[in-house]
Structure 1
Amino acid sequence: MNPDITAGLTQLGHDTPLPTDPDSARLERVPNPQAGIAYCVRFTAPEFTSLCPMTGQPDFAHIVIDYVPQDWLVESKSLKLFLGSFRNHGAFHEDCTITIARRLVTLLEPQWLRIGGYWYPRGGIPIDVFWQTGPVPAGIFLPDQGVPPYRGRG
């Protein structure tokens, strides 16, 4: 591993506690060693949790993030800690999903990003939330997110 690429990272290689909320979570980035090459990166978090802001009950989702990087890559440990910071955070499904995407767009300035938030049912109704920054860039291989419509999803 090129030591210069990890210079300045504060969480990788260290015992880092789970942030208490998304606002205090520190997302980190590293230079993209393949900048100038158009490719897609996918992160899948099939066990995402947050809290209902009204009842305090847990909500569960399968989150899929696809992005086409430019100069920066998200450091995966910081992403894992950021996603984990929602565990005790009360927010609606739509807010959680879009907050994740917007933080990543602000941090990375990717060529393109999309998120799929596939939320498990509460009260018998699953809520799926989708957002992307624009059209898929030409020439990008982009597989389906692979999460089936709800039918005992999982």
Structure 2
Amino acid sequence: MASSASETTRTPLYGERAIAEAELICFDNPRPGRPYEVAIELPEFTCLCPFSGYPDFAVLRLLYQPGPRVVELKAIKLYVNSYRDRTISHEEVANRILDDLVAACDPVWMQLEADFHPRGNVHTVVRVSHGSRQPC
């Protein structure tokens, strides 16, 4: 039985389109003269293991002191979701996400912790940072 064009071609769902078009968006820091910290937790991070192809799951914890710009929350959610089909190591993904965030919002200080769920009795946590933390 031959398949029709409608069976082989599919329009991406709105969420798939939003993730595919994801960009890190920042806005002006509303309190540029005041040292403060922002904590963001992203509990549903997923990427693919570069060795097995199996999915890796992690909780991402971002803590940062804003510089001139603050990262927009929906934008970071969509950006992080864009990794779900990427083949990348734990170490590289933590560093790449930090590099992209630093490039987008130029923080005074930023730390990213990628806490991966155990697999094969091994629990991995990768912490990367940028800048010098200031007292708040």
TM-score range, shorter chain: 0.7 to 0.9
- Is it true that 1:84 corresponds to 2:81 in the alignment? yes
**One-letter code of the match for 1:54?**
F
TM-aligned CA deviation for residue 71 of structure 1: 1.0
User: Which stretches in structure 1 are left out of the alignment for 5+ residues?
Assistant: 1-14, 141-154
Q: Is the 8 A contact 2:25 2:72 kept in 1?
A: yes
TM-aligned CA deviation for residue 77 of structure 1: 0.9
**One-letter code of the match for 2:30?**
P
- Is it true that 1:19 corresponds to 2:19 in the alignment? yes
Greater helix share, 1 or 2? Answer: 2
Equivalent residue runs for 1:2-151 within 5 Å: 17-20=17-20, 25-137=22-134, 139-140=135-136
Rg larger in structure: 2
Runs of 4+ residues deviating >6 angstroms = none
**One-letter code of the match for 1:65?**
L
In structure 2, what is the Cα distance between the partners aligned to 1:45 and 1:76?
Answer: 10
Greater strand share, 1 or 2? Answer: 2
Q: Is the 8 A contact 1:53 1:90 kept in 2?
A: yes
**SS in structure 2 of the partner of residue 126 of structure 1:** strand
- Describe the superposition over 1:5-25 as per-residue Cα deviations: whole angstroms up to 9, x where unpaired: xxxxxxxxxx663434xxx63
Q: Give me the CA root mean square deviation.
A: 1.6
TM-score by length of 2: 0.83
Identity level (%): 33
In structure 2, what is the Cα distance between the partners aligned to 1:87 and 1:123?
Answer: 21
**One-letter code of the match for 1:47?**
E
